[in-house]
């Protein structure tokens, strides 16, 4: 999209929620802590080919997300949003909380004197800018450099030789560097060495299988407790097992008293927790505690916890909508979503994890082979995370579960809000 476009976002026909798909992609810092999300939109009305990264017609979508409450979509971190010439020249910015957004200037935008003046004005008003998909230090890039804080490099478009050449120039200009499309640990390590500040991509969710890796004692205790629950053990036996592990007991009671659980009165004992929560809910909080455990050692695993909790909640909500009269399907869907990243969490193959914790065939089919209803729900969640690459498959799965894009948007925002709440309370 260039500044010569005849489209003007200020006058664009308002897009309704039902016409787009939303994704949020985590951005992490050098210590792997979650610092931001990039918000990506795909136009659902015109088919899978149209990824609205240039966003001219999607200005009203941003407004909608802001009116809805940006914090529901991104929690208490920053939100990166693409802006093109039409959006920059529009009045959309009155909707955006300047302290919580970073505006990404799209690489195809022609830099005119009017555009420079507008960006300067927005910077003075307190907005922060990133320059997206930089591949050279061209004249346009040089013009924008004094006005932007962050330079983004897409690793799929950048040979290492170009990165080695460009990164020192931008670092010497005191710009923060962000690597996007980081897909594996090797790419992350390379960018870390080059002095990158931020990293976007799903490298942190990829399992790195370590041979002979064993679960920690506390993880083992939680897994054994989960097995007790799924094997329908006696309540007194479950209670005894929780009380035998002091830190497990303490953390469980702390967790069940957080707002995300939604219990109206304070829970003070394991027995009370079991009575009020029931076994399915207890199982859920134990699964969350598995992801929370590394946080206590000072390793920030919040992105993995947030992603797993989001998947769990989204699958539960999809299942509820798909079959509203069957509560057990929703509980199973949650389990599939949250367990889908346990191979990454433990660095152990999924098949080995499923040997240690008893699950029904439908769950193992979904986790190992992405088969059946739950496998399809999981694939839908995975496609939403990587919305730019999802293609027709996303549309087919949305249709398969009889969802409109508006339904899916509402379910996602609920899942985002819930998982962010959980992540904030486990530390």
Query: Domains in the chain, ordered, with CATH?
Result: 9-205 (3.20.20.450), 217-426 (1.10.3210.10)
Q: Closest Cα partner for 418 from 328, 325, 339, 305? A: 305
124 token code pair: 């003075």
- Res 105: pLDDT: 93
What pTM was estimated for this model as a whole? 0.88
Cβ atoms of 379 and 366 within 8 Å: the answer is: no
SS3 of 173, please?
coil
Strands 198-200 and 150-154: unpaired
Determine the Cα angle at 384 with ends 419 and 86, to 5°: 105
User: CB count, 10 Å around CB of 69?
Assistant: 12
Going by the DSSP 8-state scheme, the letter that residue 13 receives in this structure is: P
Q: What is the pLDDT along the chain (427 residues), one digit of tens a residue?
A: 333 333 333 344 444 555 678 889 999 999 999 999 998 887 776 544 444 444 544 565 566 666 667 778 898 899 998 888 888 988 778 778 889 999 999 878 899 999 999 999 999 999 999 999 898 888 889 999 999 999 999 999 888 999 999 999 999 999 999 999 999 999 999 999 999 999 999 999 999 888 888 888 888 888 889 888 888 889 899 999 888 888 888 888 887 887 777 778 888 888 888 888 888 888 898 999 889 876 555 455 579 999 999 999 999 999 999 999 998 899 999 999 999 999 999 999 999 999 888 889 999 999 999 999 999 999 999 999 998 888 888 989 999 999 988 899 889 999 999 999 888 877 6
Q: How far apart are CA 259 and CA 284, in angstroms?
A: 15
Q: Which residues of 230-259 are buried (b: 16+ CB within 10 A; e: fewer)?
A: beeeeeeebbebbeebeebbebbbebbeee
- In 264-337 the beta strands, taken as DSSP E runs, fall at none
- Please state the three-class secondary structure of 266-285 as a single string: CCCCHHHHHHHHHHHHHHHH
Query: Does the CA dihedral 262-268-269-271 come out positive or negative?
Result: negative
Sequence-distant (≥ 6) Cβ neighbours of residue 159 within 8 angstroms: none
- Res 83: pLDDT: 87
Q: How far apart are CA 400 and CA 293, in angstroms?
A: 36
Q: Closest Cα partner for 335 from 315, 351, 352, 306? A: 315
Q: Count the alpha carbons within 13 Å of 418 in the hemisphere toward its beta carbon.
A: 20
Report phi then psi at 102, rounded to 5. Answer: -120, 125
- Res 68: pLDDT: 62
Sequence-distant (≥ 6) Cβ neighbours of residue 194 within 8 angstroms: 163, 164, 167, 177
Cβ atoms of 48 and 68 within 8 Å: the answer is: no
- Res 256: pLDDT: 81
Cβ atoms of 315 and 412 within 8 Å: the answer is: no
Q: How far apart are CA 77 and CA 420, in angstroms?
A: 10
- Res 51: pLDDT: 45
Going by the DSSP 8-state scheme, the letter that residue 45 receives in this structure is: T
């Amino acid at each position: 999209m260039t500044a010569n476009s005849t489209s003007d976002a200020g006058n664009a026909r308002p897009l309704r929620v039902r016409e787009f798909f939303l994704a949020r992609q985590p951005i992490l810092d050098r210590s792997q802590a979650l610092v931001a999300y990039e918000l990506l939109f795909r136009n659902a009305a015109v088919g899978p080919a149209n990824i609205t990264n240039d966003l001219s017609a999607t200005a009203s979508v941003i407004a909608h997300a802001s009116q809805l409450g940006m914090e529901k979509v991104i929690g208490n971190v920053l939100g990166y949003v693409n802006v093109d010439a039409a959006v920059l020249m529009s009045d959309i910015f009155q909707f955006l909380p300047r302290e919580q957004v970073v505006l990404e200037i799209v690489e195809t935008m022609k830099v005119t004197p009017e555009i420079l003046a507008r960006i300067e004005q927005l910077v003075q008003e307190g907005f922060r800018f990133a320059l997206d998909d930089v591949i050279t230090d061209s004249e346009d890039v040089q013009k924008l450099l004094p006005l932007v804080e962050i330079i983004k490099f897409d690793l799929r478009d950048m040979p290492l030789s170009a990165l080695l050449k460009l990164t020192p120039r931008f670092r010497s200009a005191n710009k923060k560097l962000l690597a996007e499309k980081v897909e594996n640990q090797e790419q992350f390590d390379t960018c870390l060495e080059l002095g990158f500040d931020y990293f976007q991509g799903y490298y942190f969710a990829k399992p790195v299988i370590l041979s002979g890796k064993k679960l920690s004692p506390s993880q083992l205790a939680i897994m054994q407790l989960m097995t007790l629950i799924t094997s329908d053990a006696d309540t007194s036996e479950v209670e005894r097992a929780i009380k035998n592990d002091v830190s497990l007991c303490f953390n469980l009671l702390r967790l069940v008293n957080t707002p995300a659980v939604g219990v109206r009165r304070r829970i003070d004992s394991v027995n009370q927790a079991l009575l009020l929560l029931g076994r399915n809910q207890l199982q859920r909080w134990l699964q969350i505690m598995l992801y929370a455990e590394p946080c206590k050692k000072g390793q920030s695993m919040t992105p993995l916890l947030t992603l797993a909790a989001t998947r769990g909640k989204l699958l539960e909500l999809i299942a509820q909508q798909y079959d509203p009269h069957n509560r057990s399907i929703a509980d199973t869907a949650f389990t599939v979503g949250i367990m889908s990243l346990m191979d990454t969490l433990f660095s152990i193959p999924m098949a080995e994890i499923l040997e240690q914790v008893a699950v029904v065939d439908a769950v193992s089919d979904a986790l190992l082979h992405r088969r059946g209803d739950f496998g399809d729900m999981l694939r839908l969640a995975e496609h939403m995370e990587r919305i730019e690459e999802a293609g027709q498959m996303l549309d087919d799965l949305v249709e398969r579960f009889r969802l409109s894009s508006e339904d899916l948007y509402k379910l996602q925002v609920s899942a985002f809000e819930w998982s962010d709440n959980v992540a904030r309370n486990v530390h």
